[in-house]
Structure 1
Amino acid sequence: MNAGTGPPTSDDGGYPGYCAEHSGGLDELDTHLTRCRACPRLVAWREEVAATRRRAFRDEEYWARPVPGFGPPDAALAVVGLAPAAHGGNRTGRMFTGDASGDFLFAALHAVGLASQPEATHRGDGLELYGVRVTAPVHCAPPQNKPTPTERDTCRPWLSAELALLAPSLRAAVALGAFSWQALLPALGSAGWRVPRPRPAFGHGAQLTLQATDERPELRILGSYHPSQQNTFTGRLTFAMLVDVLTRAAELAGLRSQGTGTGQGRSAG
């Protein structure tokens, strides 16, 4: 913190909390988020990956910054992952874009009628989401896809603020994996929902209802295994399993397939 002289700088641990609290909308929140340098290990890793690059992407300029969520500001359904992939979102600048996990997720969203196309290759590829916002509890690519508890907690204000801004329309959320489930529940608590204690355990197909309060509408939470290659290659998560969870989530959120109209806003990637 700048010793009382002004807002924290982007490399200060207080930067996420301050900027999240003072953001008036998702666009402003995302702008602040992409400037964040609060976690030194994650900053060093995301920039190292961008400098060395993978051979297949050696001619590309990597994003190498925190990756914001994307989707319409009136989304009824949030899909929450883990963190950007080093050569996926960290390269393309969009969540779940340019990697195998994203290919699996967006194909499933398309099958349910919540995405305009089954592929997500780069920003500006024409992808639109219907009533869905895709985000994560950690916005920088972590080494070995494993954020530390401190990094997760430092990043939490971004997710809490995003959920609070979505609150007027948000009716359901899907947590992709145990890490997401465990990070999402306290973020929802910080965003104004009443989360039960002890917190329910994660499981594929797990479902939790957060009761409406004076400030927040009822919210349904569903769990799904993460569409990592480790899960999809071994059959722990099949395409049909993910489609089933997303179909139930869409129904709980009040969304219909794009063929009949979702009644929610759209977002171009």
Structure 2
Amino acid sequence: MDGLSELDARLVGCRACPRLVDWREEVARTRRAAFADQEYWGRPVPGFGPHDAALLIVGLAPAAHGANRTGRMFTGDRSGEVLYRALYDVGLASRPTAESADDGLALYGTRITSPVHCAPPANKPTPRERDTCRPWLEDELRLLAPGLRAVVVLGAFGWQAALPAFAAAGWTVPRPRPAFGHGARVTLAGGPAGRPLDLFGCFHVSQRNTFTGRLTPEMLRDVLRGAATAAGLHPDGPASQAPPGTGS
């Protein structure tokens, strides 16, 4: 078992935030009517993607009836439908849909994680919960550092949560801290492997953003394509062959 596998195995047993533990487990017990016959994951959700990923996507937190149900990031919910469709369109995913943890989906050179690993009530972690969960992201960044070249952060919450994690993991975050914005791009110097990191901002793939047109599929693909190019993955449309770093 490598370091990232060990980290993920420890993560799924975390019970550090009582409010989040109570909520994720209550949702798993009561279930949504549409999924009443399914066994919910109901635990912290680890990152998903190859352990030598060159590109990392950072979200917010698992959805109560999405990743908290399926046990895989952005799987089984509307936000995931938008994200994985775009990843497939730019050649970073093997299929355009993510329905369950055993659906055969693979990511190419790309890993997905979040700053908060448990589903929060109303999709809103507290600042304390965000800070309590941060060491998991810091360790994940250190383990990914040898191959990591670019990061896409989805939304202002993720951006604010991730910047201290990058600093703790060894990258130099400019001061004042760069502001979040869709299309923002910042280069972080240093890092555990001595390699700079290109950081990209993107509106979150929430229904509020995608249903209103604040984030369109074209906007999302543009950011992913730019980040993939910065990571050396050379995106070129739906994947007919796997770029470096293939797997789940």
C-alpha deviation, 1:265, in angstroms: 1.8
Counterpart residue number, 1:157 = 135
Counterpart residue number, 1:225 = 203
Moved over 3 A (4+): 212-215, 257-261
TM-score, length basis structure 1: 0.89
Amino acid at match of 1:68: P
- Say if 1:191 and 1:214 are closer, same or farther in 2 by CA, change over 3 A: closer
Matches within 5 A, 1:1-269: 25-212=3-190, 215-257=193-235, 258-259=239-240, 261-262=242-243, 264-268=244-248
Counterpart residue number, 1:17 = none
Task: Render the CA deviation track for 1:188-232: whole Å, top value 9, x for unaligned.
Answer: 111111111110100000010012367431100000000000000
Structure 1 residue ranges without an equivalent (≥5): 1-22
User: Distance in 2 between the 1:213 and 1:242 partners?
Assistant: 27
Measured on the aligned residues, the alpha-carbon RMSD in Å equals 1.3
User: Distance in 2 between the 1:40 and 1:143 partners?
Assistant: 12
- Say if 1:59 and 1:214 are closer, same or farther in 2 by CA, change over 3 A: closer
Q: Is the contact made by 1:76 and 1:253 (CA closer than 8 Å) also made in structure 2?
A: yes
What SS does structure 2 have at the residue aligned with 1:95?
coil
What SS does structure 2 have at the residue aligned with 1:211?
strand
User: Distance in 2 between the 1:240 and 1:220 partners?
Assistant: 21
Q: Is the contact made by 1:106 and 1:115 (CA closer than 8 Å) also made in structure 2?
A: yes
User: Distance in 1 between the 2:231 and 2:103 partners?
Assistant: 26
User: Distance in 2 between the 1:222 and 1:140 partners?
Assistant: 24
| Equivalent pairs, count | 245
Q: Is the contact made by 1:42 and 1:143 (CA closer than 8 Å) also made in structure 2?
A: yes
Structure 2 residue ranges without an equivalent (≥5): none
Q: Is the contact made by 1:71 and 1:132 (CA closer than 8 Å) also made in structure 2?
A: yes
- Say if 1:83 and 1:213 are closer, same or farther in 2 by CA, change over 3 A: closer
Amino acid at match of 2:226: R
Task: Render the CA deviation track for 1:117-145: whole Å, top value 9, x for unaligned.
Answer: 00000011000000000000000000000
User: Distance in 2 between the 1:141 and 1:124 partners?
Assistant: 21
C-alpha deviation, 1:267, in angstroms: 1.7
Q: Is the contact made by 2:169 and 2:192 (CA closer than 8 Å) also made in structure 1?
A: no
Q: Percent identity?
A: 66
Counterpart residue number, 1:5 = none
Q: Is the contact made by 2:24 and 2:64 (CA closer than 8 Å) also made in structure 1?
A: yes
User: Distance in 2 between the 1:42 and 1:239 partners?
Assistant: 31
C-alpha deviation, 1:54, in angstroms: 0.4
Task: Render the CA deviation track for 1:43-81: whole Å, top value 9, x for unaligned.
Answer: 000001111110100000100000000110110000000
TM-score, length basis structure 2: 0.96
What SS does structure 1 have at the residue aligned with 2:68?
helix
Amino acid at match of 1:87: H
Amino acid at match of 1:69: G
C-alpha deviation, 1:167, in angstroms: 0.2
